[in-house]
Chain A
Amino acid sequence: MLADVPLDEEVVLVRMDVDGEDVEALLERGIVPGCKLCPVRHAPAGGPTVYRVDGDLIALRKDLASCLCVQTALAARRSPAEGRKGAARQAPEPAGVVDAT
Chain B
Amino acid sequence: MTGTDPLVALVGPPNAGKSTLFNTLTGLKQRVANYPGVTVERRSGVVDEPVGSVEVIDLPGVHGLSPRSLDQMVTRDVLMGNLEGGRQPDAIVLLLDATRLRSHLMLADPVLGLGIPALVVLTMGDELGRRDGAVDPTALAAELGVEVTLVNARDPSTLGTVRRFLRALHTGGEELRACPAIAVADAAASEHHPGRPLPVVDLFAERRKRARALGRSADFRDPRPSRMTQRIDALVLHRLWGPLLFLVVVALVFEAIFTWAIPLMDATEAGIGASGEFVAGLLPDSWFRALLIDGVWAGVGSVVVFLPQILILFFFIAILEDSGYMARAAVIADRVMHRVGLQGRSFLPLLSAYACAVPAVMAARTVEDERDRIATIFVAPFMTCSARLPVYALLIAAFIPAGSLIGPLGWRAAVMIGLYALGLAAALVTAAILKGTLLGGRSAPFVMELPPYRLPTLRSVLNRLLDRTKIFLRRAGKIILTVTVVLWVLTQFPRAPVGGAPEIGDSALGQIGQVIEPAIEPLGFDWRIGIGLVTSLAAREVIVGTLGTIYGVENEGEADFELQAALQQDLDLGSAVALLIFFVFALQCMSTVAVMRRETGGWGWPALQFSYMLALAYAGAWVANALL
Contacts and interface: CB of A to CB of B under 8 A. Distances in A.
Interface of A: 16, 18-35, 41-48, 50, 52-61, 63-64, 84, 88, 91, 93-94, 96-97, 100-101
Interface in B403-451: 442-451
Contact of B204 (A32, A54, A101): A32
Contacts of A91: 209
A47 to B, nearest CB: 4
A45 B448 CA distance: 17
Contacts of A22: 442, 444-445
Contact of A44 (B200, B217, B332): B332
A26 B66 CA distance: 13
B591 to A, nearest CB: 32
Contact of B212 (A18, A43, A44, A93): A93
14 contacts: A25-B68, A25-B445, A28-B204, A29-B103, A32-B205, A32-B207, A45-B243, A48-B334, A54-B103, A56-B100, A58-B447, A94-B216, A97-B185, A97-B210
Contact of A64 (B234, B240, B447): B447
A26 B422 CA distance: 37
B446 A60 contact: yes
B102 A29 contact: no
Interface of B: 63-64, 66, 68, 99-100, 102-103, 106, 143, 145, 181-182, 184-185, 200-201, 204-205, 207-210, 212-214, 216-217, 222-223, 225, 229, 233-234, 237-240, 242-243, 327, 331-332, 334-335, 338, 344, 368, 442-452
A91 B216 CA distance: 14
Contact of B331 (A20, A24, A56, A59): A59
Contacts, number: 160
Nearest to B186: A100
A19 B99 CA distance: 31
Given A16-B201, A46-B335, A93-B210, A30 B344 contact: no
A53 B213 CA distance: 17
Contacts of A45: 239, 243, 335
B214 A58 contact: no
Contacts of A53: 103
Contact of A41 (B209, B210, B237): B237
Nearest to B216: A94
Given A24-B68, A43-B334, A50-B233, A55 B103 contact: yes
A43 B68 contact: no
Contacts of A41: 233-234, 237
A29 B63 contact: yes
Nearest to A97: B213
B213 A94 contact: yes
Contact of A55 (B68, B223, B332): B223
Contacts of A16: 201
B127 to A, nearest CB: 12
Given A28-B204, A58-B449, A101-B145, A47 B63 contact: no
Nearest to B214: A97
Q: Which of A26, A56, A96 is the most central at the interface, judged by chain B CB atoms within 10 Å of its CB?
A: A56
A42 to B, nearest CB: 8
Nearest to B64: A28
A30 B106 contact: yes
> 4 smallest A-B Cβ distances: which pairs?
A28-B63, A30-B103, A100-B185, A27-B204
B238 to A, nearest CB: 7
B220 to A, nearest CB: 10
Contacts of B327: 59
Contacts of B185: 97, 100
Nearest to A61: B446
B448 A64 contact: no
Contacts of B64: 24, 28
A56 B14 CA distance: 12
B337 to A, nearest CB: 10
A20 to B, nearest CB: 7
A27 B334 CA distance: 21
